[in-house]
A = this chain, B = another copy of it.
Amino acid sequence: MRYHRVPDETIKRLPIYLRRVIHLSEMGVKCVSSTELAIFLGISPWQIRKDLSYFGGFGTRGVGYNVENLVSRIREILKLNVTRKAALVGVGNLGSAILSYPGFNRYWLEIAAAFDIDKGKVGKKLNGLVVEDVAYLRTLKDRQINLGIIAVPGEAVQEVANNLVEAGIKAILNFAPRYIEVPKRVKVITIDIALYLARLPYYVPSKWMGKTY
């Protein structure tokens, strides 16, 4: 295919494909077609083929995609070909849940440090990690950790983000309900869980949701 800018929407779907092909690989499946993937992912086969074709076709016509090959190609594209380290800031309820979430290492991601401002939490061991004082965020620079996860209350977010950027973090996953300002070179993805839940009622036909509930 001739030169094409890769749509960001495509990048959002790649991890979904990766999730599935890793699973297929673990099940010992050797080959998969775009249609088979489509059924399990709720995405159209055309979309899947188009997405993959942006990076140079790596399927076999008349056959499908080699599962192992897909895993390694998508890993490469997403720069997950080596384990990436992330620092978590804020080990409250949500932070702790993230820390104990078992799904990250499947994607070659590792939460390699955890920080909190609460002296009562600092020093405690959580999921094999000793919680550090936020004052030591700057040490991240020398620890080859360049992803940040923010799970602190809204008021503190911007300051934490500033400190993370200062500490050389290159991309941030923000769970606090605030837009944060960072230099353009730093990527931020914000997940405000309440915002997703708040969107649900919109999709429910009103006849199922009388005003008097």
Cβ contact within 8 Å between A80 and B201: yes
- List, in ascending order, chain B residues with CB within 8 A of A42's CB: 179, 181
Contact of A208 among B40, B78, B81, B146 (CB under 8 A): B146
Please classify how large the interface on chain A is, using the bins under 10, 10 to 19, 20 to 34, 35 or more: 35 or more
* Residue in B closest to A95 when the chains form the complex, CB atoms: B97
The answer to whether A103 has its CB under 8 Å from any CB of chain B is yes
Cβ contact within 8 Å between A147 and B179: no
Contact of A194 among B41, B104, B177 (CB under 8 A): B104
What distance in Å separates the Cβ of A85 from its nearest Cβ neighbour in chain B?
Answer: 7
* Residue in B closest to A172 when the chains form the complex, CB atoms: B200
A206 to B77, CA, bound (A): 11
Contact of A191 among B19, B103, B109, B196 (CB under 8 A): B196
- List, in ascending order, chain B residues with CB within 8 A of A107's CB: 194, 197-198
Instruction: Give A142-159 interface residues, CB cut-off 8 Å to B.
Output: 144, 146-147, 149
A179 to B186, CA, bound (A): 30
Q: Contact string, A182-213, partner B, CB cutoff 8 A, digits 1/0?
A: 00010101011111111111111110110111
Which of A10-18, A62-70, A132-140 lines the interface with chain B? A10-18
Given contact pairs A42-B181, A191-B191, a sample of 20 additional A-B residue pairs in the complex whose CB atoms are under 8 Å apart: A15-B199, A19-B195, A79-B209, A97-B97, A103-B177, A106-B194, A107-B194, A107-B198, A144-B213, A146-B204, A146-B208, A170-B208, A170-B209, A171-B200, A171-B204, A172-B200, A173-B197, A185-B205, A189-B199, A191-B193
